Amino acid sequence: MVADLARSWLTCSAPVAAAQAAGRPLVALESSIIAHGMPYPENVRTARDVEALIRGLGAEPATIALIGGRIHIGLSDDELELLGRADRVHKVSRRDLPAVLTGGGLGATTVAGTMICAALAGIEVFVTGGIGGVHRGAPETFDISADLQELAKTSVAVVCAGAKSILDIGLTLEYLETHGVPVLSCEQDNFAAFYTRDSSFRADFRLDDVAEQARFIRTKWDLGLAGGVVLSTPVPEAAAMTFEEIDALTQQALAQAKAQRITGKAVTPFLLAHIKALTSGRSLATNIALVKHNAEVGARLAQALAHAGRGAGAA
Ligand code: PSU
Ligand code: MN
């Protein structure tokens, strides 16, 4: 009943509805990365490229955004363009969903917002760039992304290139552990750090094989252990930045945020924008490369999950 009420807010695109009807795997995509994470026109081009990559691997992409008081699951080319061009788009996390739906404005969903909508639409895999986390200085500011609480309760697998070092990655992993969110890695033992491959913190479980990733996730949910799973995969070597380069820029961005007393939901976009400006575009190429790589990993995972057996006897 609650689920039916919630689903009455969804508008699925024709390709998404067709994939759902045919039982084909779907991959959810966030829109905050389009509206707040990248400049126009690279944002729209990347969004389209990512969708094409996912389709090429046999899964259906479902980019999620709030438009005209509805939760859109799967966007048309025109809707992607609208979202990528508009300069006043709400950043929608769990807290913001009712306000933006009833207000009828344009809303781009964060990791938390996208997970909620994906779960409502029955989509198990979600591809993003990097997850939010515990901010540096959080013991004083209490700034902990709502993404982490969402991972604690909403059953969606989130494929990412780790988390940015604008965050306290060690505390982010501690928080996830406390809330029972497994952090899987593939291609390397350590959790990735978005622009750079290595955060220097170990992920909980390394699973390179996609069938094993799917079995892990299916087993968690079969056991009734609600909540997300993080799958971290590092940015491809050729596009990665060095730790030294990104660390210096991060320090500068953090100092700026502090000096300008930036707080609340403005913190993350402020830091992202500063790093982008400071690298004069280099970070954008890294960002695009990692999102595309994540899309490939996510599409394969969605396929594997669709075929993974259930229960203890499954192969
Ligand atoms: N981290 C990134 N890129 C992003 C974000 C985070 O490297 O684009 C966005 C995501 O949408 C994420 C949100 O869910 O910022 C987290 O914001 P906050 O820290 O305010 O919860
Ligand atoms: Mn915050």
Residues of the chain whose pLDDT is less than 50? Answer: none
pLDDT for position 291:
98
CB of 91 shorter than 6 A to ligand 1: no
Tell me the CATH number for domain 2-309: 3.40.1790.10
pLDDT for position 1:
65
Q: What is the 3-state secondary structure (H, E, C) of the chain?
A: CHHHHHHCCEEECHHHHHHHHHCCCEEEECCHHHHHHCCCCHHHHHHHHHHHHHHHCCCEEEEEEEECCEEEECCCHHHHHHHHHCCCCEEECHHHHHHHHHHCCCEEECHHHHHHHHHHCCCCEEECCCCCCEECCHHHHCCECHHHHHHHHCCCEEEECECCCCECHHHHHHHHHHCCCCEEECCCCECCECCECCCCCECCEECCCHHHHHHHHHHHHHCCCCCCEEEECCCCHHHCCCHHHHHHHHHHHHHHHHHCCCCHHHHHHHHHHHHHHHCCCHHHHHHHHHHHHHHHHHHHHHHHHHHCCCCCCCC
pLDDT for position 247:
87
CB of 135 shorter than 6 A to ligand 1: no
CB of 162 shorter than 6 A to ligand 1: no
pLDDT for position 11:
98
pLDDT for position 183:
99
* 59 Cα: distance to centroid of ligand 1 (angstroms): 25
pLDDT for position 278:
86
* Residue 164 CA, closest ligand 1 atom number: 7
